[in-house]
Amino acid sequence: MLSSPILTQQPIPVPQPDLQRNSPPMRPIHVAIISDGNGRWATSRGLPRSAGHRAGAQSARSVIEAAPRLGIHTLTLFALSAANWKRPPSEVSGILRILHEYLLTETSHCIDEGIRISIIGRRDRVPATLRQAIIDSEAATAHGTRLHLRLAVDYSARNAIYNAACRFYKATELSQESFSSVLAEARGGTTDVDLLIRTGGEQRLSDFLLWECAFAEFVFLSKRWPDFTVRDLEAAVHEFNHRERTRGALPDAIAG
């Protein structure tokens, strides 16, 4: 993770000239990234897993910086899964420390760049100092409109849906739209995911944004997250822009 369907195992082959002219989509999009492979990247180089998480954080910075010019209005990064608590405590602590450092050092930059920060997921299991940093960063960047950066921390989509359902049963209006509104209360408000990218070679959602990814386009890459570059993000957006998205309807070309 951050700190650690046509499906493809290799980086998407996009002709060089087209990529240089890559233009944003007709409307802003929501891109979600399962930033997998940090630990394996480090161990393959004889480094501690913590080195992979730090390298992954640098990849995240580059992607965040590039996102707005590619037409991305919302970017959701999977920083720490609720399932990751099964990992050694030192590794989990290291991931949370990197997140804390990011919030302390990058919040002012996000304000300058018009980036709104939201943290989705549980907060009761993270250190109190990190909880306060989250509150401070969210408040300080609340008026950002250029990019909505969402970091999923101690996050489980199943838990989010379950908790929303527990609140929803008291609602007077029963509809998918009203349920989505209840679900949004615990996830910083968002739109459906348009494009989901997963690095590291795995081809699964891993309990990430299950409701929001109902009609998302998927791009799976074999390269590990620390090796993911802005060029790869450009290629994925380019691929997305050239896919036909019908959401179950007939394409316009044959609908008549």
Query: Could you list the active site residues?
Result: 36, 84
Q: Which residues pair with 76 in a beta bridge?
A: 32, 150
Q: What residue spans of 169-203 are helical by DSSP H?
A: 176-184
CB of 183 closer than 8 Å to CB of 234: no
CA–CA separation, 106 and 41 (whole Å): 25
E strand map for 89-228: 115-120, 147-155, 195-198, 217-220
Q: Tokens standing for 133? A: 């940093």
Q: Is 125 helix (H, G, I), strand (E, B) or coil?
A: coil
Q: Which residue has the tokens 């959401």?
A: 247
Residues with Cβ within 8 Å of 85's Cβ and at least 6 positions away in sequence, in order, are: 92, 125, 154
